[in-house]
């Protein structure tokens, strides 16, 4: 089977939550894409920016920012948790990249500790998905 791409799944804990803002995350995506030579496309947010206090989720441990930075070759997804200082990051691309650069950069940017890192190879199927 031919490898089509890879996905890095990264868990960071004890991060600096002052970096959990749209501005910092937007800059993170920009610098990360430069570092691993990816072309950025649309950036999509899901957070509680502008949501009235009474509409915030009761489960405070769920509050944070989720964002998808589409890249020409797929996407980068981040989820932050304000209360715990955790980040869950996924990078999928059919263009190769250096996952060690991503890990080091992310750890330094968010001032966190990597607690889990997994790389998954994605495989190309044959015609109509048949291998």
CA dihedral (83, 30, 111, 94) in degrees, to 10, reads: 90
Residue 130 within a domain: no
Is 56 part of a structural domain of the chain?
no
Separation between Cα atoms, residue 57 and residue 123, nearest integer Å:
38
**Do residues 48 and 63 lie in contact, with contact meaning Cβ atoms separated by under 8 Å?**
yes
Tell me which residues of the chain have a pLDDT lower than 50.
Answer: none
**Residue 54 covered by a domain:** no
Distance CA 8, CA 93 (A): 9
Distance CA 73, CA 6 (A): 11
By residue range, what is the domain housing residue 103?
A: 3-48+62-125
Tally of CB atoms within 10 A around 86: 21
Cα 124 to its chain centre, rounded Å, is 23
pLDDT at 129: 55
- Residue 63: the pLDDT is 83
- The predicted model scores a pTM of 0.89
Q: Is residue 36 part of a domain?
A: yes
- Structure confidence at residue 118 (pLDDT): 97
Task: Say what the pLDDT of residue 128 is.
Answer: 59
- If one counts the domains in the chain, the total is 1
Find the CATH number of the domain harbouring 24: 3.60.90.10
Find out whether 9 and 120 touch, Cβ atoms under 8 Å.
Answer: yes
57, part of any domain: no
> Looking at residue 26, what is its pLDDT?
98
The b-or-e profile of 58-69 (16+ CB within 10 A means b, else e) is: eeeeeebbebbb
Mean pLDDT (the chain, rounded): 92
Does residue 118 lie in a domain region?
yes
Query: Within a domain: residue 93?
Result: yes
């Amino acid at each position: 089977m031919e490898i089509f791409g890879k996905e890095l799944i990264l868990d960071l804990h004890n991060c600096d939550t002052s970096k959990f803002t749209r501005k910092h995350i937007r800059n993170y995506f920009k610098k990360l894409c430069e570092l691993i030579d990816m072309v950025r496309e649309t950036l999509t947010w899901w957070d509680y920016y502008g949501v009235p206090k009474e509409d915030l989720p009761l489960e405070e441990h769920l509050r944070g920012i989720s964002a998808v930075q589409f890249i020409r070759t797929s996407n980068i997804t981040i989820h932050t948790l304000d209360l715990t200082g955790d980040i869950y990051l996924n990078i999928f691309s059919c263009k190769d990249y250096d996952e060690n650069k991503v890990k080091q950069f992310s750890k330094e940017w968010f001032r966190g500790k990597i607690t889990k890192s997994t790389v998954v190879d994605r495989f190309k199927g044959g015609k109509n998905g048949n291998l």
